[in-house]
A and B are shown apart, each in its own frame.
Chain A
Amino acid sequence: MKLDTTGMESAAPVWGSHNELVDGFSAAPSFELPNTTDFDGFQKEAIQMVKPAKGTTTLAFIFKEGVMVAADSRASMGGYISSQSVKKIIEINPYMLGTMAGGAADCQFWHRNLGIKCRLHELANKRRISVTGASKLLANILYSYRGMGLSVGTMIAGWDETGPGLYYVDNEGGRLKGMRFSVGSGSPYAYGVLDNGYRYDMSVEEAAELARRAIYHATFRDGASGGVASVYYVGPNGWKKLSGDDVGELHYRYYPVMPSTVEQEMAEVTGA
């Protein structure tokens, strides 16, 4: 019996050009590498022109009813806001979500690649892949590109046969299972609000409001986070987007302007 080693194939990049016309997805994509002696120095320079958007706030937590996932939508290149409408919650398939933090292209590409691998798993095994399995696939790929300058800090959230699942996966190949995560430059602020308000037995509305508030507070204090706070819920029937609110408007909803008594009134000055 021939062992099925497709899951164990090395995903490391290979020399030589790839033939895109007959691209198969069982092997990892092969990347052209620059012909230099100082690979690290080259990558350091190359990454300067993309300036990956590490400025972000994403969070996810498991509670009684499922998983809540939320993120902001700002992409910054240095001090310039390159976009206020980046989709940081990526829909891998109808029951699994991934969050984006770090390099936008890296996260987009590898999440799409993960979605393909998950679909292939479904076709090959006639059942959905578990969140554990999906996060392991991603972690292994990122581990094989370790040290090459990828920047990915993602959470894989989903609902499988064992119930809700949440994993944190990063570009070093690290993979952590947990109940609450927040990733990005705004994560300290989000953790403060999230840890304070978290209870396992919340309703979906309470959990959504907690997630929304945590993102709002992070965007308020962190300059690199902002835009639209999106909140997704993952339940037994898959994910559903619950809300997308502009954080500027959320500010006035949480802290409405109160008419206050005037302390000093400026009097009209007549004459010169």
Chain B
Amino acid sequence: MATSSVSKGCFVFKPNFKKRKISVPVEDYFNKGKNESEDSKLRFETYQLIWQQMKSETEQLQEELNKNLFNSLIEFLQQSYSGFHKNSRDWGCQIKLREIPTAALILDMKHFLQKLVSKLMNCCVDEESKEESIQVTQKKTFCSMDSLSSWYMSVTQKTDPKLPRKKRTSSSQWQSPPVVLILKDLESFTTKVLQDFIIISSQHLHEFPLILIFGIATSPIIIHRLLPHAVSSLLCIELFQSLSCKEHLTTVLDKLLLTTQFPFKLSEKVLQILTNIFLYHDFSIQNFIKGLQLSLLEHFYSQPLSVLCCNLSEAKRRINFLSENQCENIRRLPSFRRHVEKQASEKQVALLTNERFLKEEIQSLLENLHVYHTNYFLVLRCLHQFTSSLPKYPLGRQIRELYCTCLEKNIWDSEEYASALQLLRMLAKDELMTILQKCFKVFKSSSEKQLGSTAKRIEEFLAQFQSLDEAKEEEDTSGLQSKGLQKTDLYHLQKSLLEMKELRRTSKKQTRFEALREKVVNFIDSLVREYLLPPETQPLHEVMYFSAAHTLRAHLNAAPRIALHTALNNPYYYLKNEALKSEEGCIPNVAPDICIAYKLHLECSRLINLVDWSEAFATVVTAAEKMDANSITSEERNEIIHARFIRAVSELELLGFIKPTKQKTDHVARLTWGGC
């Protein structure tokens, strides 16, 4: 069956029922079309597993983050509901009755509202569905607030006995439930409609209890911008604010990447891309997770060794079943090769020839990698405690920035690190102690043996500081000085730093506090140098780290305009034909027709005369054709060239570069400025 027709645009293809039943399982696509399908099934399963875990983790996270907000919202709804039922006659209440209770939600997460809706639906499913159905019928006849309220009366009376009472235990008597109206995206409503609606419904509030919930994506000011005072005074607004998306990102990263729970890791470039898309483009956690999913998929799809990217015990088991090919793959890994080169010569030979020996080595290497990660994140968090409170944040305020720098290179080589250390050397005692206490907690939380001593060291430091406190010595002066320092700005800090240097040079004497502080800083420094090595230095890091940043960028942050521009300006980029090779900014006359037409149209201003254009086109094309000996008559050739020109022009029209215009006969208007 053909898929082109002049009479319809949709073509449905339905295979026979029998055939359809045998639908291909997803994992088949995973290994098909790929030459090295080593352990693909296993890899796909691992992918599924890790992805499911990550997904549930993020969902749980979101649930937790929204819990507070949701609870307070429910509370608000209940309160405002009960407000409707206080039949008291006092004035305050009557005034209040004029106001529509409104909750304004400031949201950064889109799907929060969806969840909210679904939860609310659970509470009052019956009403809502009925409302919908009835309203639809009314739309045809006559829709007014009166009919709505009378409908409401009838519905509440009818359904009163069998209203669902499963959730609301507190308000047992649920006589006439309020209608909750959720305006998902307040900003996109037409103000007029909204205003009218609010005014009208406030008039009818006594017979038609209504609660509004606004979903706002920007800031609460928008309410006042959309609604004049006369209208907004009819609302009794309470504000609920959800967590900012940046904090959300931090927690997500914390749970998914800065942990040993998931073996899968992102390389520096990839992480940068994902966070940059987040920060510069959309502030969307959902997209961030999508990027994470894509990188996970790409990793398992393209890296045969990713089969080992699972938890340690499972990986150890899998190592034993590694095929010969996979062993070869491992030997080819650059990081492994580097590792081999460092070994003694007989061991080198054994690694390269003996499979059993290799597997043992892999096991120990993976173990090392695991330990490396455990330590890495602990030290990273510890370092973050130190640097996150420094003035000017030389190493970033968020842990992800610190993480990125650490992934990229040896952090201690960077200028920022040096300045951070310098600033650390000027911390006041109480600050230092709180930081140390936090670090202590970080280390305490883990049960690793290697770093157990670190926790002890920190405890010791803390004790020493404490003892300093008790044994107040003559160092008071310098202590005060340093205390005074930390609240000033960078300039003064540097100045006083110089002064202190001067001071130190003159009187070499160091107070006990200074000495201790120096010790702490050195200790941290040594920790960093020992444990925060970039992952590239670790053998077999390719198993865990996804580094194909360019594919990620191409699929998530594509640049269609650039692609068009390149294709039109530089066909050689795609068609590797020597005839198309050209210098910058020019195009050979044998290039595809559309490229030539495009290049010619660039020379025009807003309007293009088709005749001129076609002649110019013909000139170029005939020149190119002369090269090939052809026997067609010149008239026919002209016709053909004209046809080619027409095609090129209509293609450019389809692409949106030009459009027909009536300003002048036989002219087209350009729609772009500049090269593209």
Q: Is the A/B pair a real complex?
A: no
Chain A residues near B (Cβ < 8 Å): none
